[in-house]
Chains A and B, each alone.
Chain A
Amino acid sequence: MTAVLAVLEQRDGALRKVSHEVVTAARRLADGLGGEVHALVLAAGSVRGVDALGGFGADRVTTTTAAAFAKYDAEACARVVAERVKAAGYGAVVLAASAQGRDLAPRVAAKLGVALAADATDVAVEGGAIVATRPVYAGKALLRVKLTARPALLSVRPNVFTPVSRPHPGAQETAAVDVPAGRVVVREIKAAAAGALDVAEASIVISGGRGLREPANFKVLDELAQAFGGKAAVGASRAVVDAGWRPHADQVGQTGKTVSPTLYIAVGISGAIQHLAGMRTSKVIVAINKDKDAPIFKVADYGIVGDLFEIVPKLAEEIKKAVGH
């Protein structure tokens, strides 16, 4: 009961970036428990990127294949993960708190009859006990919880666990499994605009609020995002989502997404408490606002006071020079 299972994600045969973070968190627990990290990828065929997982601390990597795994099949995935955990007797199981992981983890928990510590931002083994830190009230408080059931099931928030180089064998194996397709069938995935990143996963997030004055003006933020060369996503405050200017998928805050990018740039956002709750764990925060007394400046590392329509295009120009795009 000392090995840790890292349940990874792929889409269309490519491993998703969050999978490195899951292995990193699993490695931390396995080191504390004195066991191995076994990574599990469910896919229709071979998956690009699995050979790199040893570098992040995986001792074994199993690619389990079935036709049902061509697109995300929640019921088939939950069944295979739960059976694997029961058969191997893991001490802990780590998933991503991504759209897929948030759907899958509770099903696995219910099949195993154990608790799920969801959306952890820190994990540790303390005196043999597995402890997770998880934000509650959208980050207005942190809860440290001990997982008393075994296996301990956790999901980790994307972008929080920085993958570190921890060379382990990463021994590869592939095994086909016979699993019936679930009752819920994915008919299609309507892709967002080409190259569009999700605010919850991007390393740079540029969010706009009422200060943008009208929906069309978000193009200045799109241009700034492009200056970062494909690493930035454009987010929005609740006010502009409620006004129908931007889709809910882009909303940062307590009733939207909680984000932890390396760089968060708040443009024309005053900083309501529910917005701050969603972005305060960003590593560096920049605020651009015309009101020098706006609450956003209280959490920002760097602020510029003034007209965003002058500042943001200038910033895009300077960023292009600095990062060479």
Chain B
Amino acid sequence: MKIAVCIKRVTDSEARIKIGADGKTLDEAGVKFILNPYDEFAVEEALQRKEKAGAGEVVVVSLGPAAAQETIRTALAMGADRGVLLQVDKIPLDGFEVARALAAELRDGGYDLILFGKMAIDDYNHQVGPMVAELLGLPCVTSVAHLDLGVGKGTAEREVEGGIEVVEFPLPAVLTADKGLNEPRYPALKGIMAAKKKPLDVKPTAIAAGGLEVLAMTPPAERKEGRIVGEGSAAVPELVRLLREEAKVL
């Protein structure tokens, strides 16, 4: 089984966000970057599928700056076989441009499965996976939380409002991984050492800014100072009065 996993270097979920001097981008100074948490589920799933099949290859592909090599090495340390970095100066906000570059890389790869995380926790775009599927003409299931693969087809479960959708799809396919799909492994020291020697192909990539022009990045509106209504259950009647009369939400 030949599997591609598309991964992204993102800011750590605990990072404090400081806006850069241009008022349009993140000030990256001192910010920790990690492998996008949803992509970890995709990498883990690929590794388990390969292990189960007893043969195959897991290729991680990332579009990002030179520093994304580290992110790829993390996936290689988990057990992926090789990496490809589509190196750009800056990842455009327009996910369609990213999808186009990834689709061009993946098109002739002969993959049985192409996996993504369901979204990146920095731009919240939720879009590159299904766009790549569309560009490659492949079936796609997004937000997969459970997966069974048979010969030439699979069954997946995905969360929708108020329920779980059970879907069947043919292979090859593009799937995006949700939390709950598996428990990603931590890279062991042996894996980290081995990852340093695994092939990582860096391909300088030209990318257009696309159809989204950033006008400004601003901090979210500050919430006005709240107040402690009181202590213990004695404060409850006053809280309910405030919710009804002041906040008017009851």
- B180 near A255 (CB under 8 angstroms)? no
Contact B127 A118 (CB under 8 A): yes
Using CB atoms, name the residue of chain A closest to B126: A102
Q: Which B residues between 169 and 215 are near A, CB-CB below 8 angstroms?
A: 169-170, 173, 178-180, 210-215
Contact of B134 among A107, A118, A148, A303 (CB under 8 A): A107
Q: Are B166 and A187 in contact (CB under 8 A)?
A: yes
Whether A115 and B96, one on each chain, are in contact in the complex, defined by CB atoms closer than 8 angstroms, is yes
CB distance A183 to B162 under 8 Å? no
What residue of chain B has the Cβ atom nearest to residue A136's Cβ? B123
- Is B217 touching A142 in the complex (CB atoms < 8 A)? yes
**Partner of A311 from B226, B232, B242 at Cβ < 8 Å:** B232
Within 55-89 of B, Cβ neighbours of A (below 8 Å) are at none
What distance in Å separates the Cβ of A64 from its nearest Cβ neighbour in chain B? 20
Pick from A106, A149, A241, A311: contact of B131, CB below 8 A: A106
In the complex, which residues of chain B have a beta carbon less than 8 angstroms from the beta carbon of A131?
215
Most chain-B CB neighbours within 10 Å: which of A99, A137, A196, A281? A137
| Binary contact readout A222-262 vs B (1 if CB under 8 angstroms, 0 otherwise) | 00000000000000000001000001110100111010001
Asked whether B163 lies within 8 Å of A192 as measured between CB atoms, the reply is yes
Residues A187 and B124 in contact, CB atoms below 8 Å apart? no
B212–A183 touching, CB < 8 Å: no
Q: Is B106 an interface residue (CB 8 A)?
A: no
Given that A272-B14, A304-B232 are known contacts, is A189 also in contact with B165, CB under 8 Å in the complex? yes
Does A143 sit at the interface, judged by CB under 8 A?
yes
Whether A295 sits at the interface, judged by CB under 8 Å, is no
Nearest chain-A residue to B11 (Cβ)? A137
Q: A118-B125, A187-B167 are in contact. Are A249 and B212 (CB under 8 A)?
A: no
Q: Are A144 and B214 in contact (CB under 8 A)?
A: yes
Q: Are B139 and A183 in contact (CB under 8 A)?
A: yes
**CB pair A307 B139 closer than 8 Å:** no
Residues of B within 8 A of A297 (CB): 226, 228
**Number of B residues contacting the other chain (C-beta, 8 Å)?**
87
Are the CB atoms of A281 and B220 closer together than 8 Å? Answer: yes
Identify which of B127, B218, B243 contacts A286 (C-beta below 8 A): B243
Contact in complex: A200, B161 (CB < 8 Å): yes
B227 to A: closest C-beta gap in Å: 7
Q: Does B240 sit at the interface, judged by CB under 8 A?
A: yes
Q: Are B229 and A302 in contact (CB under 8 A)?
A: yes
Given A110-B134, A143-B214: A74 and B140 within 8 A (CB)? yes
Residues of chain A having any CB pair with chain B under 8 Å: 16, 72, 74-75, 78, 97-100, 102-103, 105-107, 109-111, 113-119, 131, 134-149, 182-192, 196-198, 200-201, 241, 247-249, 251, 254-256, 258, 262-263, 272-274, 277, 280-281, 283-286, 292, 297-307, 310-311, 314-315, 318-319, 322-323
**Interface CB pairs A-B, < 8 A, 30:** A102-B142, A105-B127, A106-B126, A111-B134, A115-B96, A116-B95, A116-B127, A138-B124, A140-B220, A141-B218, A142-B217, A142-B219, A143-B214, A145-B215, A148-B213, A183-B170, A200-B161, A248-B159, A255-B179, A272-B14, A286-B239, A292-B228, A297-B228, A299-B223, A304-B236, A306-B233, A311-B236, A315-B240, A318-B240, A319-B240
Besides A118-B125, A187-B168, 13 other A-B contacts (C-beta < 8 A): A100-B160, A114-B96, A115-B96, A137-B26, A140-B17, A191-B162, A192-B164, A201-B161, A248-B179, A263-B247, A284-B249, A302-B229, A306-B233
